[in-house]
Copies of this chain bind each other. A is one copy, B any other.
Amino acid sequence: MTVEIICVGTEILLGNIVNTNAAYLAGKCADLGLVNYYQSVVGDNAERLTESLKLAAGRSDIVILSGGLGPTEDDLTKEVAAEFAGKALVMNEECRDRIRTYFEARKMDISENNWKQAMIPEDAVIFQNNNGTAPGMAIETEMVKMILLPGPPNELIPMFEESVVPYLKQFTPGVIESQIVKICGASESRVETMLKDLIDRQSNPTIATYAKTGEVHIRVTAMAPNKKEAAKLLKPVVKEIKSRFGNDIYTTEPDVTLEKAVVDLLIANNMTFTCAESCTGGMLSARLISVPGVSEVYKAGFITYSNKAKRKLLGVKKLTLEKYGAVSSQTAKEMAKGLLADSKCDVGVAITGLAGPDGGTKEKPVGLVYIACSVRGEITVKECHFRGNRDKIRESAVSYALMLTRSCLLEYISKVTFGKK
C-alpha cells in the first residue's frame, strides 16, 4: 500500500513554520509498512488543493492531509475532500456535542463558525479530537482513502496514535523494519565504495547511507510479513556490514549519538573525562553534557581561549607558545598533559586551532586544528585541516575530537585487556 502526505497551510509556503507534521506522519507510516513516495505542501486555496488531491489520489492508495480543518473561511480541506469524493457534508450530532462541551468547559463563547467543524462528509469514519475542536476523519472512495487531520501537532499526534494507527493497520501488508549502523571517521564516498557490491545487488533489504558531520549512517531496511521475518532478512546484511567496518561502527542503536557512545564507553570503563577547548570554545563540553547521566564521568572543563589562559589554567610553557605558537601540536600536547596533571581525570582532550575568518597564514591556514587526547598519560596528537566557515570548522573539530577520544579509549582498553601493559 502506498501513502502520500499533503500538508495544507500558507504559513508553510511562506517559511514561517517548519513542517514537522510531514516528518512525523512519514515516520509513522514507514513504521506501519506503508510506502511513501511523495509529500507535498499547498496553501489554503481550493483550486490548488483540489489539483494536488487529484494527483495524489491517482497515484497513491492512501492520502493523508493535515491542516485546514479549523473554523475559519480559510479552512477548506474538508470541503475540498468531500467535493472530490462526491459526498455531502452533514451535521454530526456527536461532534456537535463535543464542540459544545469543549467550549462550555473553558467558559468560552461559541462563535457561529465553530459549528462548521461538526459538519462531516456522509459515511466518513470519525477520529475524535481530545485536544481541540476539529475532528479528524477518513473519507473512503473506490479510488482512494483520504485521512484528514488537524494541523496543530499537539492535536494531530495524539489523534494519529489513538485512532489513525488502528484504522490504518487494516491496510498494512506486513512490517518494515530498519536497522541503523553508525560509523565515524570515514567519508560517505568511502563507505559507499566499501559497500558497493552490497548496494548494487540490494532489493530487500535495501541499504542507504547518510552523511553527517564526521559521521556516516547506514540504514538497512527490510519488508516482510511480520517482525520476525524482517529481522531474519536484516541479520545477515547487518552482520556483513559490521565485519567490513569493525571498530569504526560506534553504535547500531538509533538513539545513540557519538557523544553518548563516548560517555557510555567512559562509564563502562569507570574513567573520568575533562577537556580544554580553544577555538571550539565549549562545544565539545556542550555535546558531552547533552547526554543525560554524564555527571558520572564529566566533572569540570576549561575554555582556554587566550594564551594566558593556556598557561595559567593548563601550565603550557611560555617558551612553547613563543616557539611553536598556540596552534601547534606542541601546545596541544602540553594542554592535554596539563589537564590531566591537575584534574586527576583519566582522559583529557585538548583542542587548539584556527577557526577564522581571520588569522590564517600560509603556514597555518584557517581550518588548521590540533587535537590531543591523553588516556592516563598516553598522548595522541592529530593535525586536522577542516574547511568551511567558522561554525563548520568548529563543528568538524568537535566531531573529530569525539572520534579520536573513542579510538584512543578503545586502543587503551584493548592493550590493557590483552595484557600488553
Q: Which residues of A contact B (CB under 8 A)?
A: 10-20, 22-30, 36-43, 45, 48, 52, 55, 70-74, 102, 105-109, 111-114, 130-132, 152, 154, 158, 178, 187-190, 192-193, 199, 208-211, 213, 219, 221, 277, 279-286, 288-290, 292-295, 298-306, 308-309, 312-313, 356-358, 367, 384-392, 394-395
Q: Are A357 and B10 in contact (CB under 8 A)?
A: no
- A150 CA to B293 CA in the complex, in Å? 36
Q: Are A72 and B189 in contact (CB under 8 A)?
A: yes
- Provide 10 A-B residue pairs closer than 8 Å at the C-beta atoms, listed in order of the A residue: A14-B27, A15-B24, A16-B27, A18-B20, A37-B45, A71-B189, A72-B209, A74-B208, A283-B286, A299-B305
Q: Are B43 and A40 in contact (CB under 8 A)?
A: no
Q: What copy number does this chain have within its complex?
A: 2
- A294 CA to B386 CA in the complex, in Å? 21
Q: Are A26 and B13 in contact (CB under 8 A)?
A: yes
Q: Are A15 and B37 in contact (CB under 8 A)?
A: no
**A81 CB, min distance to chain B CBs, angstroms:** 18
- A21 CA to B329 CA in the complex, in Å? 38
**A349 CB, min distance to chain B CBs, angstroms:** 13
Q: Are A295 and B305 in contact (CB under 8 A)?
A: yes
Residue of B whose beta carbon sits closest to that of A275: B303
Residues of B within 8 A of A130 (CB): 387-389
Q: Are B40 and A389 in contact (CB under 8 A)?
A: no
